[in-house]
Chain A
């Protein structure tokens, strides 16, 4: 039974490693990145993945080995501890953890500190409510909250290769603006308008999900972020504007 348990631990280790190894090829993995800092988040993820892998192999391997050879009639060992070993396994992981912490500082600051916000106007206001995303563009006057604002549900259109600043607003409860392919997630808290920024690196249509429980329809709160070239973006906004001016007749 003891050896069975040791084998079970080895199997657990093997399956865990395998589940991560086979995952990328099967799409059980981070979706392909499409934002300028996403690659850095992915790099941090991979860095931690290696730390995790080494630590996992080390600890589960030692554990399995200890269990495997721990015969009930083995020699007696009334060992109470070892100061040297304690120092080793306090300092070594401690150093790794501090190194991990230090390697996140810059990314986090760049993503979130207000001093890093790209200059320029807000591209669009994202209005979250039960159970819908609505996007409001400032229109010709460049100001939000005026009559020439353009609006559309479900799909946000952003230019490729440019810094995009969004203002997130919630009308009722907390929602969360989550675009997996862009590595963007920010809670949308009522009463707390929040700005986020990112730059999309390739054209495409990326799924937008709500990642904070917002009620029974939480799962319905799907949307999209479509990244277009500047010209296509301008054409899209012109179409929205034409809709604003449409007289209801033949187009």
Chain B
């Protein structure tokens, strides 16, 4: 190649994994803002149903005098779920962290398939654009929930959003699915083939184990959802009837009379959908678990407690995670015998998670904690994840789930996992790796303010949803107070809404922090945290190709808290920092 590549090649259509990682980061954060605003609109309706929505109501809903319409509410929660899962948490964890960290942490120059990587991001962009179209399409945004259960989703007459909106939604899901599959393929290949010399599987940082297991989940299960989405698309556009039973009359539309095939079953979709979409929860949590383990070790100056049990439990989650999808279907008409089996597997999957929690606590036990923002967010992750995990026990129990399925308790439960868990891990990871990504460390005081407020407000928003669910408030209900037995819950809902508004506003501190940091001139240096893993031996930010010379790994990633003179830690490779290679080689592998 001659000369510098152009701006487009360097920043837009780059094959450099770091650029693509940061593209995913920006992409995910923009959608995070969008999804958060959707959440606020949902909360507004639940607190003060059918009142004028502030700021946007008059413009968007003139026919009702500025109040939400019921169908607009269904669009809100459909797209909130879709965006947050498929365009925020998954791209941030696997897209941003996965791309940025995998080659760096295993000492590779780039991904195994850089151009596939480029394609993966540039498939996500139209997928995101289609999701926005699916929200705002004039004939009605997609409104069948992020779960898109047919026939509500597959029969165009079933809801205003089941027309063009749903088709766009499916197209978006398909593209995002293909993009994620390509990414997963790339991560697995890269981790298996491109590890630096001396970096055996037993020396991989847990972040890499988490990202790798998540990628394996995606490789195994995602094609099933993609196939399901294709079937639903066919039902909608080609007149097939995979999910359409005979004898339906939806809003005067009878599929048979219109010449559509019938004889399918709506339950088929639920199996196909949850076969991936339940494991997707683990895709959102496994990398988070890895990130948190690394952050706890680095900022606690102590090895991760029980490295092997941590790895084994991740693999157990990977395998069991593929066998629990039926717990979403206990009351769906699933064969009760299958329900029994799914209850067993679901209770079993709590075990590896609890093993991990105990190991994190043991890691922190006697740790020399540096209360950095990264560390605080990681500790916050553990605390909130524990609550989310434990409230899942009720939902695993088939008889109790009869009462609690599809109530606000479920919403509280999984937000503790996905917001309290994954999002706090994302913030921990961002604080931890920001110096590497941008060469400047985020401001610690702003970071702490952001953490404390987010932690408190997260509890305020999601904790009381458990009580709402116990009292019987169903999910996805635009006006719970049509039920006499739920009217006394309105003050509770209003409290949650105020907290949610504050929580979203509080994220301004993070934005502010990023702006302040990026505009500052202070440089963070190669290794601001005195960490061991390979990425800290590259420049901040690393140049194209990452390492000046291929690193040679001499020990495990968690040699912290070492006794003796000098540093309390031993980097995995000391070649680049100029240490004597002979001395490094003499150290027995950890």
Contacts and interface: CB of A to CB of B under 8 A. Distances in A.
29 contacts: A2-B371, A12-B384, A15-B459, A27-B471, A29-B471, A31-B485, A63-B379, A63-B382, A66-B361, A77-B302, A77-B366, A79-B303, A80-B306, A81-B359, A81-B362, A89-B354, A90-B355, A93-B351, A109-B336, A172-B155, A187-B331, A190-B248, A191-B245, A207-B484, A209-B483, A213-B145, A216-B71, A216-B74, A218-B476
A31 B487 CA distance: 13
A172 to B, nearest CB: 4
A75 B87 CA distance: 44
B309 A81 contact: yes
Nearest to A98: B347
Contact of B265 (A85, A90, A100, A192): A192
B265 A191 contact: yes
B485 A73 contact: no
B484 A67 contact: no
Contact of B305 (A19, A67, A70, A81): A81
B574 interface: no
A215 B333 contact: no
B246 A191 contact: yes
A107 interface: yes
B544 interface: no
Interface in A38-69: 40-41, 44-45, 48, 51-52, 55-56, 59-60, 62-63, 66-67, 69
B379 A89 contact: no
Interface residues of B, number: 119
A212 interface: yes
Contact of A187 (B332, B343, B477, B489): B332
Q: Which 3 A-B pairs have the closest CB atoms?
A: A191-B245, A180-B472, A70-B369
Interface stretch (A3-11, A149-157, A233-241): A3-11
A174 B149 contact: yes
Contact of A218 (B74, B266, B485): B74
A169 to B, nearest CB: 10
A178 B459 contact: no
Interface in B447-470: 448, 452, 455-456, 459, 463-464, 466-468, 470
A85 B560 CA distance: 21
A78 B303 contact: yes
A81 B399 contact: no
Most chain B beta-carbon contacts within 10 A, residue among A26, A82, A173: A173
Contacts of A59: 357-358, 361, 386
Given A56-B386, A67-B379, A80-B307, A219 B152 contact: no
B302 A79 contact: yes
B458 to A, nearest CB: 9
A246 interface: no
Interface string B480-521: 101111001100100000000000000000000000000000
A86 interface: yes
A160 B160 CA distance: 41
Interface residues of A, number: 99
Nearest to B464: A19
B10 interface: no
Interface in B362-379: 362, 364-371, 376, 379
A31 B307 contact: no
Contacts of A37: 399
Interface in B401-420: 402-403, 405-407
B361 A63 contact: yes
B394 to A, nearest CB: 5
A131 to B, nearest CB: 10
A80 to B, nearest CB: 5
A71 B152 contact: no
B585 interface: no
Given A192-B245, A213-B149, A23 B470 contact: yes
Contacts of B160: 216
A231 interface: no
A211 B407 contact: yes
Interface in B246-288: 246-251, 265-267
Interface string A10-27: 001001100110010011
Interface of B: 69-71, 73-74, 143-145, 149, 151-152, 155, 158-160, 245-251, 265-267, 300-309, 331-333, 336-337, 339-340, 343-344, 347-348, 350-351, 354-355, 357-362, 364-371, 376, 379-380, 382-384, 386-387, 390-391, 393-394, 397-400, 402-403, 405-407, 448, 452, 455-456, 459, 463-464, 466-468, 470-472, 474-480, 482-485, 488-489, 492, 558-563, 568
Given A190-B247, A209-B483, A216 B143 contact: yes
A67 B367 CA distance: 8
Contacts of B355: 86, 89-90, 93
B343 A101 contact: yes
A9 B350 contact: no
B336 A213 contact: no
B330 to A, nearest CB: 9
A1 B376 contact: yes
A23 B489 CA distance: 11
B3 to A, nearest CB: 49
Contact of A70 (B364, B390, B399): B364
Nearest to B401: A185
A29 B485 CA distance: 11
B158 A112 contact: no
Contacts of A100: 347, 393, 397
B365 A211 contact: no
Nearest to B474: A211
A90 B351 contact: yes
A201 interface: no
B149 A30 contact: no
Given A80-B305, A189-B267, A194-B333, A178 B369 contact: no
A171 B463 contact: no
A123 interface: no
B471 A185 contact: no
Contact of A81 (B70, B306, B393, B476): B306
A220 B482 contact: yes
Given A172-B248, A215-B158, A41 B402 contact: yes
A107 B118 CA distance: 53
B399 A107 contact: yes
A19 B467 contact: yes
Given A19-B466, A219-B477, A213 B152 contact: yes
Interface in A71-110: 71-82, 85-86, 89-90, 93-94, 97-98, 100-101, 104-105, 107-109
A225 interface: no
A183 interface: yes
A28 B400 CA distance: 17
